[in-house]
Chain A
Amino acid sequence: MNAPAYQEEQMKPEYKMSSENLDFYYGDFKALHGVSMDFKPREVTALIGPSGCGKSTYLRCLNRMNDLIPISRVEGKVTLDGEDIYAPSLDVVMLRRKVGMVFQKPNPFPKTIFDNVAYGLWVNGIKDKAFVQERVEESLKQAAIWDEVKDRLQDTALGLSGGQQQRLCIARALAVKPEVVLMDEPASALDPIATQKIEELIHELKETYTIIIVTHNMQQAARVSDVTAFFYVGKLIEVGDTDTIFTRPKKKQTEDYITGRFG
């Protein structure tokens, strides 16, 4: 954001986020081994790999959600616009405002639909009613759920279907105008139609946001992403254009995985 110019030059300005040699430990267990990867602005990157290979762990390193885990440890570097997000001087609250997150299971608060979307604005100190109203509507429209909920904004969010709840959670994340949106298997708990809606939504959001999505569904990765990264037991095995990864992978492990020989 406010990184000095010389730093921008050094830190590959064409990338929105980068990680360099990122290691992550849960206590003694090393869950990530030297992951280096770059994310271009307004691109969708899919993280794929068998379950337990560290996709979620990696994703959560990108907005420091792992800070909550008591005995965890991060080594290496993650940057957002060239700024080290693990620097002691960094404001985690500001970071999370710029790097939003959507979780695997839809997790709306047991509040009204309106309050759910407005929540992020309130915690960021925005109180102007008209502004909040406007932003809530805008976010719900962006998340392609406005038409379904516009007549019942004051109803509880828990009355929505799973797919609607997930789109509401996306609207909630978008309301604070993040720059990067992290999604951890956002459609895995949803039925095919809801999944399709989420995928279409990702296509539209790509115009504005940098999106990093974890998925265990390879067709989904192929459909929604520009870049695909294959993880295996805590290591980034291969990353490249989605077309290339799915048609001409360089590594044997990647090929085995995408052709369904393991995982």
Chain B
Amino acid sequence: MRTERLVQRLLGLAAGCSVAVTLLIFGFMVILGLPLATGGTFFRMFTSAWLPHQGVYGIAPMVAGTLSIASLAVVFSVPVSLGCAALISVLGSGPLPALLHRLVRFMTGIPTVVYGFAGIFLLVPLVREWAGRGSGMCILSAALLLGVLIAPTMILFFSDSFASVPRTYLEAAEALGATPVQKLLHVVIPCSWRGLTSGVVLALGRAVGDTLIALMIAGNATAMPGSVLEPARTLTAHIALVVAADFDSLEFRTLFACGIILYLCTTVMVIFTRRIGAAWEQQRW
């Protein structure tokens, strides 16, 4: 009884700590970013370009870069991940599912920089050739590679939620003469909306938060990208690049705005998808 209460307290403490740290970080960013707000530059930042030589520190291009790269990555990755997860838990037979599962788990352990490196040598030239212009370092390349990077997370999440669909539903469908694909489309996927949405949020969070791939592959141009074949800079890459160069200037201060955006982005995403997941679950499928 006593140890139980102790464990409970310890766990409570741990939970409290993580909440406190999250809140503290947010507070820290707001306080340090405050001088921008009073200077009147804060809101202009979100709409203007990044022209440090003219004293204009807008981060609109980076917001656009982050959003386009992350969302494209998810768009590329979701169908592939769904297919893989389906092979692992529903459609595959023989040794294939187990092998695939092991491979995917292994992929989650590969350091991001390895992906980036492989991307520079394999993917970037391909895209360069296909596009017929530019360096190949562009939104498309970064999104494709990021799609590969976030796929394992999604696959594991998806296949777990597929595997937890009640056997009785599967048997019922099977007994009515459903083919494996029909089982997948009509029973398995509709029954796993919660898992699917959580997987996508997690992956989206990873895509928004990833720094290295964007830094290595996306080209880091500060101009507003006009198409997916143009280079772009993400918020995270921007933070990394500016921090590496500078420490106390207005330029540096704008980073806190980037941080706040990333922070809010994640929060909104999580809340949003929770809502969607819950709504889906309540609806009939």
Contacts and interface: CB of A to CB of B under 8 A. Distances in A.
Interface of A: 63, 65, 68, 92-97, 100-101, 103, 105, 107-112, 115, 119-120, 122-124, 156, 169, 172-173, 176
Given A120-B176, A123-B179, 20 more contacts: A92-B177, A93-B178, A94-B177, A96-B175, A97-B177, A100-B176, A101-B175, A105-B168, A107-B172, A108-B172, A109-B169, A109-B173, A112-B284, A115-B284, A119-B173, A119-B176, A124-B177, A172-B172, A173-B175, A176-B177
A100 B285 contact: no
A109 B22 CA distance: 41
Nearest to A107: B168
B227 interface: no
A93 B179 contact: yes
A101 B173 CA distance: 10
Nearest to A100: B175
B169 A107 contact: yes
B72 interface: no
A123 B182 contact: yes
Interface in B161-194: 166, 168-169, 171-179, 182, 186-187, 191
Given A110-B191, A111-B285, A122-B186, A103 B168 contact: yes
B173 to A, nearest CB: 7
Per CB-CB distance, the 6 closest pairs between chain A and chain B, nearest first, are A107-B168, A120-B176, A101-B175, A96-B177, A123-B178, A97-B177
Nearest to B168: A107
A123 B175 contact: no
Contacts of B285: 110-111
Given A110-B284, A115-B284, A123 B172 contact: no
Interface centre among A103, A119, A172, by most B CB within 10 Å? A119
A123 B168 contact: no
A100 B173 CA distance: 11
B177 A65 contact: no
Nearest to B183: A123
Nearest to A94: B177
18 contacts: A63-B175, A68-B171, A68-B174, A93-B178, A93-B179, A95-B177, A96-B174, A96-B176, A103-B171, A103-B172, A107-B169, A109-B169, A111-B284, A120-B176, A123-B173, A123-B179, A123-B186, A173-B175
Interface in B48-68: none
Interface of B: 166, 168-169, 171-179, 182, 186-187, 191, 284-285
Contacts of A100: 175-176
B174 A65 contact: yes
Given A103-B168, A107-B171, A109-B187, A123 B284 contact: no
A124 B176 CA distance: 9
Contacts of B166: 107
A156 B187 CA distance: 15
Nearest to A105: B168
Given A65-B171, A115-B284, A123 B191 contact: no
A169 B172 CA distance: 9
Contact of B172 (A68, A94, A109): A109
A93 B186 contact: no
Contacts of A93: 177-179
A135 to B, nearest CB: 13
Which of B169, B172, B191, B285 is most buried by chain A, counting CB atoms within 10 A of its CB? B172
Contacts of A108: 172
A103 B182 CA distance: 20
A122 B173 CA distance: 11
A176 B174 CA distance: 13
A12 to B, nearest CB: 26
Contacts of A109: 169, 172-173, 187
A170 to B, nearest CB: 12
Contact of A119 (B168, B179, B186, B284): B186
B95 to A, nearest CB: 11
B169 to A, nearest CB: 6
Contact of A120 (B171, B177, B187): B177
A178 B94 CA distance: 31
B189 to A, nearest CB: 13
Contacts of B187: 109
Contacts of B173: 109, 119, 123
A123 B185 CA distance: 10
Contact of B176 (A110, A111, A112, A173): A173
